[in-house]
Each structure stands twice: as C-alpha cells, then as structure tokens.
Amino acid sequence: MMKNKTFFIKSYGCQMNEYDSNKINSLLLNDGYFNSSDIQNADLIVFNTCNIREKAAQKVYSDIGRVTKEDKSKTIALVGCVAQAENDEIFKKNKDVDIVLGPQSYHLLPKMLKAHKYYQEKQINTEFIINEKFDLIREEKSPKGVSSYITIQEGCDKFCAFCVVPFTRGPEYSRSIESIVKEAEALTESGTREIILLGQNVNAYQYIDNKEISYSISKLIDEVSKIEKVKRIRYTTSHPNNMDNELIQLHGSNEKLMPFLHLPVQSGSDEILNKMNRKYNISEYKHIIDNLKTVRPNMEISSDFIIGFPGETEKDFQATLDLVDYVGFKQSYSFIYSERPGTKAATIEDITPLVEKKLRLSILQKKLEELQLEFNKTFCNKNVDNVLIENQSQSNPEYYFGRTPFLQPVYVKSKNLTVGEEASVAIETCNHKSLYGMLSN
C-alpha cells in the first residue's frame, strides 16, 4: 500500500540550490517520505534546476528522460530556477513532469504532491511569495556538516545584461537577523564550526528589526561571530558595488572572517563591464582589492569570468588577462557567455565565432590554473596550522579531509583526528586543486 514514498533530489547550479535541496529533503522527511540513495528506485524525483546557462537548463530534460524511459509511474517534480523561468512551457516540453514549482514556494511541495495524487492533475506554482518558505520549512534533526550554508539574502535587483537570476529568484530580500542567528546556533549544536552566509548578492543584505535598528552584512557577521562554537565565517556571492568600507574594514578586525573572498568581476574591460551593466569599472574593482589587502595582508581573492560577451574584442580579452595578473586570483570560475532568453544581452549582436571564444577561455583557464598551482606550492613543505577537518574517509579511516582558510582542500593522513577540529598539517605535496600532508606534531 505504501506508494510514492521514497524520494531522490537531484540538485544543479549554485550553493543556494544545494541549501534549498537540503531544506526540501527535511520537508519531505517530515512529511513521511523516505530517502532513496538510488534515483532509479525512487518513487518521487525532485529536480532542483539551474537556468544560468543554456547547457545547465537543457540538461535536466535529458536527465528526466533517462529516469522515466522505462518507468512511467514515477512522480517528477521540476523545481528551482528553470521552473521559474519556463513555467507551464515545461509541461509541453516534457509530458512526464507532474509538478512545477518556483524557488520561493518549496514549502508548498507536500501539499502539491497530495493534490497531484488525489486529482491526478499536474500542479504548478511559480509565484514570488517572499520569505514564507523560510518561516515554514522546519529543519529535520539530522547531523549537520562541519561547514554549513545559511541563506541570508535572496534575489537580485541588479539586472546585469547577461543574467537570468533577477527573473528566476525575484527581487532582493533579506531574512531577519534573529532567524539567521537562531539557525547558526542550531547548526553549531549539531557540529557546525564554519558558517557560509549565502545570497545572490549576499553583501546587499539589509534588515531593519522591530526597534528600527538596521543591520548590514557587517553587523550580521559580528552577531554570528559572537556564537562561541562558530570558528569561521565566509559569505558568498558578493557584488563589488556592495563592498562598502564597513565590510572591508571588518576583514581587518573580525578574526573569524576568513581571509578569502569570492568577488566576481566578470571582465577586465571597462567597455564590456559597461555593456554588461555591472556599474563599476576596473579601477574601482582594483581599489576594493587593494583596500582589502591593506586591512588584511594575507587576503586572497577568487572570481567569476564570462568570456565572449557580445562585442568582446581581443583587446577587451587582453584587459581581462591583465587584471588576472594584477589581482592574482586563486580558484576562479570561467565560462563562455551563454545567451539567455529575456535578458538584455540577448538583443545584442554577437559576431565573435565560438572557436575564438573557446580559445580565449582556454588561455584564461590555463593562466588561472597556473596561479592556483603557484599558490598551492607556497604551502608545500610547510606546516599549515589551521586546517578545519570536515570529515574522515569512509574507505580508508586513516585519511581525513579538511580545508585551509583559503578553501584549499587538504587530504591529511592521521590516526587521531577529530572531525570539527582545526589541525596543524605538514603539507608534503600538492597539485593545482589540493594539498596533501600528515598531521604535524
């Protein structure tokens, strides 16, 4: 009699989707569903989708095809950013989809599942019901990781010419400081030592409490750092235009704030930045980096780059390479521009051939990889005393996994480490991605 009771969630895209998928997991467990470790055996499959680039958006349809090919009895829920962007078009594209649900309304999923079963009809909800979901999703009491995300801000009002996020995640919204601190406290009680504050524009965080006190991200970070068990704080993704002086200074005064910041620049060319509607220029961007390094000399930066934005010339691309030399970015993401329906950039003529874009991307990526390797090498044959141990290898218990303050993955050989502690590790070797070493005495 137990039908439609096991589920599997497949998550695409950014950390916020990962965070949301954890919430959906809790929601379904609280509603009497059981986790399935195998997508093919699950009765309900939730695809939590990403719409940022065309490839990401298309992938979900082939994935759905694969799981429904032999078994039409499965319930398929397509949620997240593709759901928001494509709406009821989805039912036309794929007849096996039963539920379409936008990112603001996950708390409605159990209700929609019941309605679907009862009426045997497709269900859809893509309204922007701001913040209801944060109040309505109760957390399942399961052990949390040493490093945990908390969404503090969602949505975006910036409308960069290439980007779908303002359309898929809606207007900027900040959660209450009380609910964030409460969530952070609860996480630390179940083992979390590092909190990563999440938002599409995380440093645009702005909350006014009922005593009319206004909280910026800097004030929020100070509040979270008062929780004793929180050892490390990070925030992502920040926008250069919201890197105010208060936040820059905080990197020099708050020891729990890690000396590593992801600050997407997208391009090193002022002309391209202008066409992208980023609303800053390269000298302003450099100024932020210089100020951060002044208050925190060991500060390191990572970034996102878009290559081949319409109209990008060889000269614009060279400006991006020059910026990479100037900042010395560590661990960055770079993609070829993908035209997205409904965005302003989709109306700009794009004449650069794809082969040229691919060549530029490979030149940039090679340079970024070299920088990353060079940085990792500076840790070789040295003791790194603050590797936060995140977990123990399941296949070989003598190995542990941790991260440095700069987010470098570290594989540690040791017989006596505790997950959640900060260990001192003697680094022996490295590659561009990771460091390898032994527990030092």
Q: Is 169 a residue that touches ligand F3S (CB under 6 A)?
A: yes
For residue 14, the minimal CB distance to ligand SF4 (Å) is 10
Q: Is 46 a residue that touches ligand F3S (CB under 6 A)?
A: no
By CB under 6 A, name the one of 9, 16, 79, 292 that touches ligand F3S: 16
DSSP codes of every residue in 9-68: EEE-SSHHHHHHHHHHHHHHHHTT-EE-S-GGG-SEEEEEE--SSHHHHHHHHHHHHHHH
DSSP codes of every residue in 195-256: EEEE-TTGGG-EEE-TT--EEEHHHHHHHHHTSTT--EEEEE---GGG--HHHHHHHHH-TT
By CB under 6 A, name the one of 16, 45, 221, 306 that touches ligand SAH: 306
DSSP codes of every residue in 404-427: -TT--EEEEE-SS--TT-EEEEEE
By CB under 6 A, name the one of 78, 150, 156, 412 that touches ligand SF4: 156
For residue 5, the minimal CB distance to ligand SF4 (Å) is 37
Q: 304 and 368 in contact (C-beta within 8 Å)? A: no
Decide whether 84 or 218 has the Cβ nearer to ligand F3S: 84
Decide whether 97 or 163 has the Cβ nearer to ligand SF4: 163
Q: Give the range of 61-69, 135-143, 161-169, 424-432 binding ligand SAH by CB under 6 A.
A: 161-169
146, with CB counted inside 10 A (0-12, 13-18, 19+), is buried
Decide whether 57 or 67 has the Cβ nearer to ligand F3S: 57
345, with CB counted inside 10 A (0-12, 13-18, 19+), is buried
For residue 168, the minimal CB distance to ligand F3S (Å) is 5
Decide whether 16 or 227 has the Cβ nearer to ligand SF4: 16
Q: Give the range of 8-16, 162-170, 374-382, 389-397 binding ligand SF4 by CB under 6 A.
A: 162-170
Q: Give the range of 95-103, 204-212, 248-256, 337-345 binding ligand SAH by CB under 6 A.
A: 337-345
Cα gap 231→224, rounded to integer Å: 10
Q: Is 159 a residue that touches ligand SF4 (CB under 6 A)?
A: yes
For residue 353, the minimal CB distance to ligand F3S (Å) is 27
Q: Is 44 a residue that touches ligand F3S (CB under 6 A)?
A: no
Contact set for ligand SAH, span 210-229 (CB under 6 A): none
Q: Is 364 a residue that touches ligand SF4 (CB under 6 A)?
A: no
Cα gap 357→305, rounded to integer Å: 13
Enter the tokens of residue 201: 């524009």
The pair phi, psi for residue 420, each rounded to 5°, is: 105, -10
CA distances from residue 163 to 159, 357, 366, 372 in whole angstroms, order as listed: 7, 19, 25, 27
The pair phi, psi for residue 95, each rounded to 5°, is: -70, -15
Q: Which residues bind ligand SAH (CB under 6 A)?
A: 52-53, 162-163, 165, 200-201, 237, 239, 264, 266, 304, 306, 335, 337-338, 340
Q: Which residues bind ligand SF4 (CB under 6 A)?
A: 156, 158-160, 163, 165-166, 200-201, 239
Q: Which residues bind ligand F3S (CB under 6 A)?
A: 13-14, 16-17, 50-52, 80-81, 164-165, 168-169, 200
